Amino acid sequence: MRQILAVTAGLAVLAASACSAPAPPRSDAPPVTPAGPATLPAPTGPHPVGTIALYLKDISRPDPWNLDADARELKVTLWYPTEQRDGQHAPYMTPKESELLLKGTGIASAPYDTLSKTRTNAILNAEPAGKKLPLVVVSPGFTKPMSTLTSLAEDLASRGYVVAGIDHTYESYATTFPDGRVAECLACDSDTDPGFGTGTVQGRVADVSFVLDQLPSKWDDSSLIDRSRIAMAGQSLGGATALAAMVKEPRIRAGIDMDGTTYARIPKSGFSRPFLFLGSPQHVPGGRDTSWERDWKLLTGWKRWLVLSGAEHQSFTDGPLMAGPLGITPAYGVLPAARAAELTRSYVAAFLDQHLKSKRQALLDKPSSRYPEVTFCPATCGPS
């Protein structure tokens, strides 16, 4: 019987497959005195933010990673606008989840429960506000829990979106279920297998379709969602999932890939729904990752390919914001953490406002003097 295995630090340095995260900061780097608990940047929209976690069970398929599980279990975290400003702030993650993530990524420069002390902005189980809001499905990178994209999710909710973040079970260092079980990273045993990226993305696409099917009946406030306005965004393998899910799912109107190698088979006739590539310099034309060049030619609708100078693979996540509390020297390129968060939030929101709310965004038309780090490819960028 296959058991859920703890992931050793050695597996955290994922081999150079483009779906993997880059090597974590070295635990033998010069010590840095840890700062106090991290506080996520305040959302920029006009609404306070609420959040709730749903637990879904797909009995129509076995789990692709746990051979003992005859159903696929998923945790889905929702963020949404609320009028409630007071109440308990949602935990960023549990102490056990923090421990498994830090052990898995080889970070030993701070207490293992450090990330569980991160201060979020969302009020736990707050009453939702608004009506017929667009939905954004979000998928995290391989080995990372959905919580590592909390800053972006909170910001979108404050701007009037419902965000559904999926924890793809057994593909991150830790997912906690209501009965206290903690699912660890079984997929980490297989990440160097041939076809791993393609197969894992296909499984994630099935997760996305199931979540879209289940939300209307599993969330008491699902009437808040306008199901004719759905987009998807993801980072790393989650970004690859966004494109692949769009190809399969007509319910998804627009998509965003943040620094993820893609694996979707786009029809040779082309794909016309709006799509945004937002990445680090590894994704410039002629760079280390060529998948965006391949897919760019097949995207026949509205599209943008934006590269952030100084960015690194984790710059589109909460990772850089955690460097101080973890007492590590940031290994996240030269783009400061707060600036990376601002750029990511601004361009993701602009794309969604234009394509789900029909609000034209000049920011997406040409380079901005306000954001000189952002280059429009392929016309004005080349190999780094």
List, for residues 108-148, the tens digit of each pLDDT value: 889 999 999 999 999 999 999 989 999 999 999 999 999 99
* Mean pLDDT of the region 330-351: 89
CATH number at residue 57: 3.40.50.1820
Of 5-19, 215-229, 331-345, 360-374, where does mean pLDDT reach its minimum? 5-19
- Give the domain range for residue 138: 39-377
Specify the pLDDT at position 334.
84
Asked whether residue 34 is domain-assigned, the answer is no
Q: Which residue has the higher pLDDT, 178 or 163?
A: 163
Asked whether residue 224 is domain-assigned, the answer is yes
Q: Which residue do the tokens 């305040």 mark?
A: 42
The number of domains in the chain is 1
| Nearest residue to 22 via CA among 234, 345, 311 | 311
Asked whether residue 20 is domain-assigned, the answer is no
What 3 state SS string does the chain have? CCCCCCCCHHHHCCCCCCCCCCCCCCCCCCCCCCCCCCECCCCCCCCCEEEEEEEEEECCCCCCCCCCCCCEEEEEEEEEEECCCCCCECCCCCHHHHHHHHHHCCCCCCCCCHHHHCECCCEECCCECCCCEEEEEEECCCECCHHHHHHHHHHHHHCCCEEEEEECCCCECCEECCCCCEECCHHHHCCCCCCHHHHHHHHHHHHHHHHHHHHHHHCCCHHHEEEEEEEEEEECHHHHHHHHHHHHCCCCCEEEEECCCCCCCCCCCCECCCEEEEECHHHCCCCCCCHHHHHHCCECCCEEEEEECCCCHHHHCCHHHHHHHHCCCCCCCCCCHHHHHHHHHHHHHHHHHHHHCCCCCHHHCCCCCCCCCEEEECCCCCCC
End-to-end CA distance of the chain: 48
Q: Which residue do the tokens 């099935």 mark?
A: 206
List, for residues 353-381, the tens digit of each pLDDT value: 999 999 999 999 999 999 999 999 987 77
At residue 163, does pLDDT exceed 50? yes
At residue 16, does pLDDT exceed 70? no
Asked whether residue 282 is domain-assigned, the answer is yes
**Cα 204 from Cα 108, distance rounded (Å):** 31
List, for residues 258-302, the tens digit of each pLDDT value: 999 999 999 999 999 999 999 999 999 888 889 999 999 999 999
Specify the pLDDT at position 194.
86
At residue 236, does pLDDT exceed 70? yes
Q: Which residues contact 290 (CB under 8 A, 6 or more apart)?
A: none
List, for residues 25-76, the tens digit of each pLDDT value: 434 445 556 667 899 999 999 999 999 999 999 999 999 999 999 999 999 9
User: How far is CA 90 from each of CA 55, 78, 81, 87, 267, rounded to the nearest angstrom?
Assistant: 16, 11, 14, 9, 42
At residue 15, does pLDDT exceed 80? no
List, for residues 307-339, the tens digit of each pLDDT value: 999 999 999 999 999 998 998 876 556 899 999
At residue 3, does pLDDT exceed 80? no
**Cα 239 from Cα 256, distance rounded (Å):** 7
pTM above 0.95, yes or no: no
Q: Using an 8 Å Cβ cutoff, are 32 and 327 in contact?
A: yes
